[in-house]
Amino acid sequence: MRNKILQWVPLAVLLIAWEAYAKFQSGFSTMFSSPVRIITLLYEKTVSGDLPYHTFITAYESFVGLLFGLFIGCIIGFILVYFPKCSKIAHPYIIALSSIPTFALAPLMIIWFGTGLKMKIVLAFLSTVFITAFQTYEGASKISESDDTFFKINHATNKQRFWMLSFPASLDWVIQSLKLNAGFCVLGAFIGEFIASEAGLGYIILKASGLYDTTYVFAAIICIILLSMFFNLLAVFVNKYKLRIIRFATMKYGK
C-alpha cells in the first residue's frame, strides 16, 4: 500500500505545479492548458458522447489489427520453427520489415486501402505482426534439448509435440509480445487517423491542434493512454489464465 501511494506522488506533484503555474501565467495556460480544464473538458465530451465515439473507433481499429497481427504472427513464427531452412532465409527479411517505421507506410496504405477503417486496421496489423512472429519464433525455438529428446524417445507425433511442447513454450513469449503490441496497435491506428480520417482520436488531435485547442489535444492523449492501458490489461488477463489455456489446448488438440 505504501509503495502504491508513493507511485502517485510524482503525478500529484506534477499536476499541482502545472495547475498553479497555469493559473498565474496566462501564456503558459494557452500553450499547455491546465489539469482542471482538461478534466472538465473530458467530463463534458464524455457526457455528450463525442469522446466515447471517437475512442471506440480507435479501439475497434486497434483491436482488430491486434487480433490479426497476433494470429498471423503466431502462424509465421511456428512455420519458421518447423522449417529451419526457411527461418534462415526469412529471418533477415522479418528484421528488415519490422524496422520500417509505420508512418512511412501510411501514404502507401492510403493508395492501396483508401482512407476508411480498413487502412487503419492494416496499419495496426503491420505494427504488431512482426513483433508477434519474432517472439513466437524465439519462444518455440528455446525448447531445451532434454525436453525435445523426451518427446522423440516416446515417439510423439508432430501434432503432440506442437500442442504439448512448442505451444506452451511459446505462449509466454506471445503474451510478452501482446504487452508490447498493446501500445503499438494503438499507435498504428492513430497514425492512420492522423494521416487521413473523419473519426477517431487521431482525427481529434489533428483537428484540435489546427484550432490551437490544447485542452482537447490533452484530453484525446489521455484517452489514448487509457486505451493502451486497457489492451495491456488484456495481456495481464491472458497471462493470468495461461495455464488453463495450455491445459485446454493440450487436452483437446494434443492427443
pLDDT in tens, the chain (255 residues): 777 777 788 888 888 888 888 887 777 777 888 888 889 888 988 898 888 999 999 899 899 999 898 889 888 888 877 776 777 777 777 777 777 777 777 778 888 887 788 888 888 898 888 888 888 887 777 776 777 677 677 766 767 777 777 777 777 788 777 888 888 888 888 888 888 778 888 888 888 888 888 888 899 999 998 888 888 888 888 878 777 777 776 666 656
Within 13 A of 194's CA, how many CA atoms are on the CB side?
17
Dihedral sign for Cα 127, 130, 136, 139, please. Answer: negative
pTM, rounded to two decimals: 0.81
CA 121 to CA 185: how far, in whole Å?
9
Interacting residues of 93 by C-beta distance below 8 A, sequence separation 6+? none
* Sheet strands (E) in the chain: none
If we measure between CA atoms, which residue out of 138, 137, 139, 165 comes closest to residue 150?
Answer: 165
Interacting residues of 171 by C-beta distance below 8 A, sequence separation 6+? 139, 242, 245, 246
Domains and CATH numbers, the chain: 31-254 (1.10.3720.10)
